[in-house]
Amino acid sequence: MRGQPNGVEDRRPRGDDHEADDDDEDEEEEEGRHRGQGPPQQRRNQAQRPSSGPQQQQQQPRPPPPLTRNVGYVGKRRLSAAIARLDQELQSLQEELDELETMESASAACQEVITSTEGKPDPLLPITSGLSILFTVPVVRRTLLGTGGFSGSAPAATNGGHQKALTSRSFCKAEIILISCVQIKMKPVEMYHPLVSWETE
């Protein structure tokens, strides 16, 4: 059995799965809350006033005074707050529109995406770059396979704030390699040797 039926979506918080999960089926959403519609509106039930004759009117308790004044005050306050929010949103939308007048088009960003993905070693890619690898590990580790390596300390370098390490315990068929904290421009050496295989259990 693969996957859940597509026709039934569960859009409630995942916690709702805890309640009825015996049959492992998705549940229909009952509230619009998580579609961004907000909590369900509360219904105001208004009791009907019973019709009565003159004698019964004398015996019935007087109805409470109308709450128009308080309800009106709350309504004004909420409306004013909503208007203030809209005014602030108008301001930020106008700022954004002004910004767009001088903004470059998407093609510039698309080029940056290409540039940022290429030249970066990626253990999950079948073809990847091994050149110009920048490390930011604060300590020096020794290569365990005697393939030559790097010793001594080196000044820490940063790569846009990243601190990533190709650790000695990799999941792919990989040589245990050393990392140092200098910028290295390597000849095209094979970083990954099928020496330590990740054996499937």
Partner 1 sequence: MASVAELKEKHAAATASVNSLRERLRQRRETLLDTDVARYSKSQGRAPVSFNPTDLVCCRTLQGHSGKVYSLDWTPEKNWIVSASQDGRLIVWNALTSQKTHAIKLHCPWVMTCAFAPNGQSVACGGLDSACSIFNLNSQADRDGNMPVSRILTGHKGYVSSCQYVPDQETRLITSSGDQTCVLWDVTTGQRISIFGGEFPSGHTADVQSVSINSSNTNMFVSGSCDTTVRLWDIRIASRAVRTYHGHEGDVNSVKFFPDGHRFGTGSDDGTCRLFDMRTGHQLQVYSREPDRNDNELPTVTSIAFSISGRLLFAGYSNGDCYVWDTLLAEVVLNLGNLQNSHDGRISCLGMSSDGSALCTGSWDKNLKIWAFSGQRKIV
Q: Alpha-carbon distance 18 to 3, whole Å?
A: 18
Q: Alpha-carbon distance 127 to 115, whole Å?
A: 16
Place of tokens 């909590």: 39
Place of tokens 């490390």: 135
The nearest distance, CB 72 to partner 1, in angstroms, is 6
Q: Alpha-carbon distance 134 to 163, whole Å?
A: 10
The nearest distance, CB 64 to partner 1, in angstroms, is 22
In this complex, which beta carbon is closest to partner 1, that of residue 53 or of residue 148? 148
Q: Which stretch binds partner 1 (CB under 8 A): 47-55, 117-125, 139-147, 149-157?
A: 117-125
In this complex, which beta carbon is closest to partner 1, that of residue 56 or of residue 116? 116
The nearest distance, CB 184 to partner 1, in angstroms, is 14
| Site string (29-68) toward partner 1, x via CB under 8 A | ----xxxxxx------------------------------
The phi-psi region of residue 146 (left if phi > 0; otherwise alpha if psi is between -120 and 50; otherwise beta) is left
Beta carbons of 165 and 183 less than 8 angstroms apart? no
Contact pick of 30, 40, 112, 142 for partner 1 (by CB under 8 A): 112
Residue 124 engages partner 1 in binding (rule: CB under 8 A): yes
Contact pick of 57, 97, 155, 185 for partner 1 (by CB under 8 A): 97
Q: Alpha-carbon distance 129 to 188, whole Å?
A: 9
Q: Is 129 exposed, middle or buried (0-12, 13-18, 19+ CB in 10 A)?
A: middle
157-176 residues in contact with partner 1 (CB under 8 A) are: 160-167, 169-174
The nearest distance, CB 84 to partner 1, in angstroms, is 8
Residue 147 engages partner 1 in binding (rule: CB under 8 A): no
In this complex, which beta carbon is closest to partner 1, that of residue 47 or of residue 100? 100
Residue 142 engages partner 1 in binding (rule: CB under 8 A): no
Torsion on CA atoms 95, 96, 102, 104, rounded to nearest 10:
160
Residue 145 engages partner 1 in binding (rule: CB under 8 A): no
